Amino acid sequence: MDERRMLRTPRQKYGEEMRLRRTAARLTQEELGDQVVCSPTLISHFEAGRRLPKPDDAQRIDRALGTDGFFARWLEDLENTYDPRFAAAAELERQATLIQQFALALVPGLLQTPDYARAVFAAYRPTTTEQELDRQVVIRTERAQILDGPSAPVIWTLLDEAVLRRAVGGSKAMAEQLHKIADLAGSRRIRLHVLPYRVGAHPLMESLLTLMSFEDSAPVAYVDAYETGRLMDDPALVSACQTAYALALSDALSQQESLALVRAAAEDHANDQQ
């Protein structure tokens, strides 16, 4: 399998299919643009996966290419997917057999409760409507479905102690969030480790990191920061990320010690609320 091909986002797949259908119809980007009533530059953005057409544009594309509503229907599915910077990683997350995640400041999205996720989104985008917040929370919490079932991936979760201490969403929401993590670890659904403050500097201090391994393709790494996300499949970069994760993990508390610390932090937040 070509790993780079596998890393295409849903938008890129949509755009590639549009390019293939346009080529088969023997139309240039300018000719298709004339029929869609848009510029050839915008057609190039569609085909590169940088932009999605509006519903009316998708209908005109279908008419121009004779695709019987194909692109309009596909667009409906794409409109409710993840942020473009995370879309490819989200697809791979569902295919992974092993996920190793590190969080520096926030609980990883896979493990977030609705109240915690809402507080995160509200902080990032303070002018977002309640309706949009609801939609984002549903999208994020539905990712946790991969934790269930016989084909669920093995999940390693490594948390900086800072994740436990910041009361995201308030003390009550934070206590509930940490109890959820502790329950997942206590039931052996995830493997949990915490990097305590006393470790000081460690190799993963700069960003969130997720490593994903698969049955039939090479591993990948995903790093996330403010308004940016990068999915890496270059073997040298992935290997460097794996080494950094292993080094940080070697400084972490044991599973038992980590679970005790998370439960204690949950009680601290619960007491603060009272």
Q: What are the distances in angstroms from CA 14 to CA 39, 71, 106, 196?
A: 18, 8, 32, 44
The pLDDT of residue 82: 73
Same domain (yes/no): 72, 177: no
Q: Place 1 in a pLDDT band, splitting at 50, 70 and 90.
A: very low
Q: Are residues 73 and 93 in the same domain?
A: no
- What percentage of the chain exceeds 70 in pLDDT? 95
One-letter amino acid of 170: G
Are 74 and 108 found together in one domain? no
pLDDT digits (tens, 9 = 90+) for 120-173: 999 988 898 999 899 889 989 988 988 987 788 999 999 999 999 999 999 999
Lowest model confidence (mean pLDDT) among 57-66, 71-80, 100-109, 196-205: 71-80
What residue has token string 């057609």?
43
Q: Which of 46, 78, 110 is the last residue of a domain?
A: 78
- Stated as kind and residue range, the H or E segment containing 55 is helix 55-65
The chain-wide mean pLDDT, for the chain, equals 90
Q: Check residues 82 and 124 and name the one with the higher pLDDT.
A: 124
Same domain, 89 and 21: no
Q: Within this chain, do residues 128 and 260 fall inside the same structural domain, yes or no?
A: yes
Q: 142 and 68, same structural domain?
A: no
**For position 226, what pLDDT does the model report?**
81
Among 73-82, 123-132, 238-247, 252-261, the range scoring the smallest mean pLDDT is: 73-82
* Exposed / middle / buried, residue 248 (Cβ in 10 Å: 0-12, 13-18, 19+): buried
Lookup: tokens for 55 = 């519903």
Same-domain status, 53 and 98:
no
Q: Are residues 73 and 182 in the same domain?
A: no
User: Averaged over 191-200, what is the pLDDT?
Assistant: 97
Domain boundary among 43, 78, 113: 78
Better-predicted residue by pLDDT, 215 or 112: 112
Confidence of residue 79 (pLDDT cuts 50, 70, 90): low
Exposed, middle or buried by CB within 10 Å (0-12, 13-18, 19+), for 157?
Answer: buried
- pLDDT given for residue 8 in this prediction: 65
Total count of domains within the chain: 2
In whole angstroms, what is the distance from residue 46 CA to residue 64 CA? 15
Same domain assignment for residues 25 and 142? no
Q: Are residues 63 and 167 in the same domain?
A: no
Q: Give the span between the Cα atoms of 95 and 126, in whole angstroms.
A: 33
Q: Which residue did the predictor score with more confidence, 94 or 2?
A: 94
pLDDT-based confidence at 105, cuts 50/70/90? very high
Residue 67: give the domain boundaries: 3-78
Query: Residue 115 is part of a domain; what is its CATH number?
Result: 3.30.870
Q: Which CATH number is 17's domain given?
A: 1.10.260.40
Region of 66 on the Ramachandran plot (φ > 0 left; ψ -120 to 50 alpha; else beta): left
Per-residue buried b or exposed e for 177-208, using 16+ beta carbons within 10 Å of the residue's own CB: bbbbbbebbeeeebbbbbbeeeeeebbbeebb
| Ranges 41-50, 150-159, 232-241, 252-261: which has the least confidence | 41-50
Query: Tell me, what's the pLDDT at 80?
Result: 54
What pLDDT does residue 243 have? 97
Give 29-70 pLDDT, tens digit per residue.
999 999 999 999 889 888 987 788 889 999 999 999 999 999
How far apart, in whole angstroms, are the C-alpha atoms of residue 105 and residue 126?
Answer: 19
Do 63 and 97 have their domain in common?
no
Q: How many CB atoms lie within 10 A of CB 135?
A: 14
Same domain, 64 and 123: no
3-state secondary structure of 123: helix
Q: End of a domain among 78, 104, 126?
A: 78
